[in-house]
Amino acid sequence: MITGKEERPRIVTALPGSCGKEIIAGDERHLATTTKASPAVVKQARGIVFEDVDGNVFFDFTSGIGVTNTGHCHPAVVKAVQEQAEKVLHFAGTDFYYDTQVNLGRRLAEITPGCFDKKTYFGNSGAEAVEAAIKLARWSTNRKFMLAFMGAFHGRTMGALSLTASKVVQKQRFFPWMPGAVHAPFPNPYRNVFGIDGYEEPDELTNRVIGYIEEMFKKYVPADEVAAIFVEAVQGEGGYIVPPASFLPALRKLADEHHILLVDDEIQAGFGRTGKMFAIEHFDVVPDVITLSKAIASGIPIGATVFDAKYDFGVKGAHSTTFGGNPVACAASLATIDVLQKEKLVENAARQGQLMHRRLKEMEETYECVGDARGLGLMQATEFVKSKEGKEPAPKLRNQVMENALKRGLLLLSCGESGIRYIPPLTVTEEQVDVGMDIMEESIREAC
Ligand SMILES: Cc1ncc(COP(=O)(O)O)c(C=O)c1O
Give percent of the chain with pLDDT exceeding 90. Answer: 99
**Ligand 1 proximal residues by C-beta, below 6 Å:** 125-127, 130, 153-155, 232, 236-237, 265, 267-268, 293
pTM of the model: 0.98
Q: Are strands 181-184 and 145-149 parallel, antiparallel or unpaired?
A: parallel
Look at ligand 1, atom 3, and give the residue with the nearest C-alpha.
Answer: 154
Of 347, 383, 370, the residue nearest 444 (C-alpha): 370
Ligand 1 atom nearest residue 301's Cα: 10
Please check whether residue 276 is in contact with residue 244, taking contact to mean a CB–CB distance below 8 angstroms: no
121-130 mean pLDDT = 98
Banded pLDDT at 56 (limits 50, 70, 90): very high
292 alpha carbon – ligand 1 mean position (Å): 9
pLDDT at 22: 98
Residue 154 has pLDDT above 90, yes or no: yes
Within the chain, all domains assigned CATH 3.90.1150.10 are found at 18-60+344-447
296 alpha carbon – ligand 1 mean position (Å): 12
Ligand 1 atom nearest residue 237's Cα: 16
Of 429, 440, 226, the residue nearest 345 (C-alpha): 429
269-290 mean pLDDT = 98
Look at ligand 1, atom 10, and give the residue with the nearest C-alpha.
Answer: 126
pLDDT digits (tens, 9 = 90+) for 206-227: 999 999 999 999 999 999 999 9
For the domain bounded by 76-342, which CATH number is listed?
3.40.640.10
- Other C-beta atoms lying within 10 Å of the C-beta of residue 389: 9
Look at ligand 1, atom 13, and give the residue with the nearest C-alpha.
Answer: 155
* One-letter amino acid for residue 48 of the chain: I
Q: What is d(CA 191, CA 396) in angstroms, rounded to the nearest whole number? A: 19
125 alpha carbon – ligand 1 mean position (Å): 8
Secondary structure of the chain as H, E, C letters: CCCCCCCCCECCCCCCCHHHHHHHHHHHHHCCCCCCCCCCCEEEEEECEEEECCCCEEEECCHHHHCCCCCECCHHHHHHHHHHHHHCCCCCCCCCCCHHHHHHHHHHHHHCCCCCCEEEEEECCHHHHHHHHHHHHHHHHCCCEEEEECCCCCCCCHHHHHHCCCCHHHCCCCCCCCCCEEEECCCCCCCCCCCCCCCCCHHHHHHHHHHHHHHHHHHCCCHHHEEEEEECCCECCCCCECCCCCHHHHHHHHHHHCCCEEEEECCCCCCCCCCCCCHHHHHCCCCCEEEECHHHHCCCCCEEEEEEHHHCCCCCCCCCCCCCCCHHHHHHHHHHHHHHHHCCHHHHHHHHHHHHHHHHHHHHHHCCCEEEEEEECCEEEEEEECCCCCCCECHHHHHHHHHHHHHCCEECEEECCCEEEECCCCCCCHHHHHHHHHHHHHHHHHHC
What CATH class does 18-60+344-447 carry?
A: alpha beta
Give percent of the chain with pLDDT exceeding 70. Answer: 100
Residue 448 has pLDDT above 90, yes or no: no
127 alpha carbon – ligand 1 mean position (Å): 6
pLDDT digits (tens, 9 = 90+) for 233-267: 999 999 999 999 999 999 999 999 999 999 999 99
Please check whether residue 292 is in contact with residue 304, taking contact to mean a CB–CB distance below 8 angstroms: yes
Q: What is the CA radius of gyration of the chain?
A: 22
Within the chain, all domains assigned CATH 3.40.640.10 are found at 76-342
Q: What is d(CA 130, CA 304) in angstroms, rounded to the nearest whole number? A: 9
Look at ligand 1, atom 8, and give the residue with the nearest C-alpha.
Answer: 126
pLDDT at 48: 98
pLDDT at 387: 97
pLDDT digits (tens, 9 = 90+) for 81-103: 999 999 999 999 999 999 999 99
153 alpha carbon – ligand 1 mean position (Å): 7
Give the strand order in the sheet containing 413-415: 370-376, 379-384, 419-422, 413-415
Please state the separation of Cα 29 from the chain's center in Å. Answer: 30
283-303 mean pLDDT = 98
Sign of the C-alpha dihedral computed for residues 11, 14, 17 and 23 taken in this order: positive
18 alpha carbon – ligand 1 mean position (Å): 32
Average pLDDT of the chain is: 98
Residue 117 has pLDDT above 90, yes or no: yes
pLDDT digits (tens, 9 = 90+) for 388-426: 999 999 999 999 999 999 999 999 999 999 999 999 999
136-162 mean pLDDT = 98
Q: Are strands 419-422 and 379-384 parallel, antiparallel or unpaired?
A: antiparallel
175-196 mean pLDDT = 97
Look at ligand 1, atom 4, and give the residue with the nearest C-alpha.
Answer: 154
